[in-house]
Structures are given as C-alpha cells and as structure tokens.
Structure 1
C-alpha cells in the first residue's frame, strides 16, 4: 500500500540529499514521479543539496493543490507513481491533507522532507500536520552537530552570529550566511535555550569549554 512518509530533522542533516537520492532510486526502476519544493535556498523551482546536487522541481505556493495536479496529470495519460516534496514545513495544513488524500485515494507514495520546528522551537504548520497524518515519521540518521559536538536538534536564526528570537516565522537563509545577513545555525537544545551560538561561545568560553 502507498504511504505518506515525513523525513524530518534540523537543517544540515541531509534531507534534500535524501530526497534527490530517493527520486533517483525510484526513477531508475521505471517509476514516474513529481518533485515539489518551496523556498529552496538555491532559488525558485529547485531542490538543492549542500553537497552540490540539484534538480528542477515544481514550486509550491499557497494556491498549489496537490490533489488537482496529480489527478490532472493522470487524466491526461501521464502516470504518477510517487511524489517527492522537499521543504514541506512551508506547506499549508490543507496541502498536507491533499497529499494524504493522494496516498489514500490514488495509491501514490508521497515522501515529504522538512524541518519540524522553526527558530523559536515552535512547530511549522505543515510539519505539525504531517506529524499528525503521516503513516511514518522518520528522523534522519545523519547527525547535524552543534558547535559543542553534541547532536544538533534545533535551528537558530542569527544575525552577525547572535541568535535572533523574534521575527517572521519564514525567512529564507542558510547555515553558511553571515556578514550582517540573516543566517541559521544548528544547535543542541541546551545551547539553543541559552542562545549560545558558536560566535558567542568563542567570545565567552575557553577553547575547550562548554
């Protein structure tokens, strides 16, 4: 039976890499799929990995109707065996429900990839609905690391290396940003709660301190 699967983890843990690998694995076996993304750091209509991999995809916005897109494609004679949806945290709750309907009524596998919580450690609406509806929620095994070496579980928004705790929920940035730009840094829970980024740690701690 088809499944709705949510692959989740903090930034920098290989979600987009896995999405592209999964698409490759299905495509080489002769399966036809659709790729979706929203607000990828590389630009519109692109799924990109920090390892340098990228592929064109369909860009999602608030008006995207996954059910109608899959039904229309099939109506016009184009098979859809699976759906890959990256940056799924940015989807609306209704869009997640559409994906669940695609699985249940059209027997199409749907593999979604996204961050669970935002820079305030609050659930994204799309991720919350995926946790509620998915047949499986998979935590990626590639561990993103906090500056202290512990497993990173939280995403911090930074400006000039300092953690920002207020602002819009969705601001596109990357873990490699800096120089006055909004950027993101993955932290363990302890250092996220303390708002201790790598830059702050370098300023206040001994070389081997935590």
Structure 2
C-alpha cells in the first residue's frame, strides 16, 4: 500500500539534496519518480535547487488552484506510469493540495514523499505542513545544527545581515537582501530579545 510521507527539517538540513538522491535511486532501478513543487517557490524557477550546487528539473509546477490528483492522473495517461512522487518545498502548498496528495497515495497507489519546513521564521506553522502533520502516514525529522553547534529546530530570517521577527510569512525573491538561517531555540530567543532591545 502506498503512503504519504513528510520529511521536515529546519533550513540547511539537506531536504532538496535528499529529494534528488531519492529521484536518482528510482531512476537507477528503472522506476519513474516525478518531482513537483509549488509555483510559490520562485528559487530555481522550474528546477529544484540544493545549496550544494546541484539541481534537477521539476516535472509539475503546482499553482494554488491546481488539483494535484487530476494533474497526476493526466500525467499517467499522457506520459507514463509513476512509481513515486517527490514534493519539494511542500510547506507552500495549500491544505487542499495535501488532501489531493493523500488521495493519490490511497486511490492511485503511488507513494508520495514530501520535503519541507514545519514552521516559519515566527514559529508559526505553514498551511501545507500543518495539514501533513495530520494526514501523513510517516513523519520524519531531518536534522541539522545551529551556528552554535546545537540541534537546530527553528528558522531565522535575516534582512541585511540582521535577524527580523516581523513580516510576511513568504518572502522569496522579494528582496535581494533576505536570507535564512537554521537556529536552536536558545539562539532564536537570544536574537529575538536583541531585536526587541534595539526597538
């Protein structure tokens, strides 16, 4: 029986790199894995991009109103049978998209492995991730470390090299001076208190 998997981790935990490794493993065995990602993720355009410098073309770009179940059915009719679906930046998908991925696993018997963040830079859940935490058959944490060496659980947003704790949830390619850093809880609250003190 196919399952819906959620592999989450803070920034820099190797999610996109792992996704591409899984895609390669399927290809090496003569099986078909397709990669999908939300159009919201502008980084890399129609490619999955890893911080290690590797990238891979996406098979389906998903818009906010798309029905993934319908798109996958269409793909299998027009192109070929799918053995696995790999989803990058799943946190940007809508609740209905996660329901559709669950339906793909249940009714089309295609395993779906989703990679993404659990929370944003304000410790709030993303819509896609929150729904996955309720529906996924399997949930796995991908670990990484903070700059201090402790386990990172959270994501910090920097603008012009300074941590910020207010703003829109999604800020991809809106500003050239935006970057993200994985943080342990201690460092997160230290930077947040520093930010409050400066105000």
User: Normalized against structure 2, the TM-score is what?
Assistant: 0.89
Residue of structure 1 in register with 2:177 after alignment: 181
- Greater relative CO (CA pairs within 8 A, separation 6+): 2
Q: Which residue of 1 aligns with 2:111?
A: 109
Task: Indicate the residue corresponding to 2:90 in structure 1.
Answer: 88
> Over aligned residue pairs, what C-alpha RMSD do you find?
1.9
Deviations 1:56-99 (A, max 9, x none): 10222202221001111223362111101000000001000000
Say which SS state the counterpart of residue 17 (structure 1) adopts: helix
**Partner residue of 1:130?**
132
Runs of 4+ in 1 over 3 A off after TM superposition: 39-42
Q: Deviations over 1:97-117 (max 9, x none)?
A: 000000000000101000100
CA distance in 1, matches of 2:82, 2:69: 12
Q: Distance in 1 between matches of 2:80 and 2:144?
A: 38
- For residues 8 and 99 of structure 1, the distance between their equivalents in structure 2, rounded to whole angstroms, comes to 16
Uncovered stretches (5+) of structure 2, i.e. residues with no partner: 195-199
Aligned residue in 1 for 2:21: 21
How many residues of Structure 1 are paired with residues of Structure 2 in the alignment? 191
Are the aligned partners of 1:118 and 1:124 in contact in 2 as well (CA < 8 Å)? yes
CA distance, structure 2, for counterparts of residue 114 and residue 193 of structure 1: 23
Contact 1:44–1:59 (CA under 8 A) maintained in structure 2: no
Moved more, 102-111 or 55-64: 55-64
Q: CA deviation at 1:196?
A: 5.8
- Higher radius of gyration, 1 or 2: 1
Question: How many angstroms does 1:161 deviate by?
Answer: 2.5
In structure 1, list runs of 5 or more residues that go unmatched. 201-210
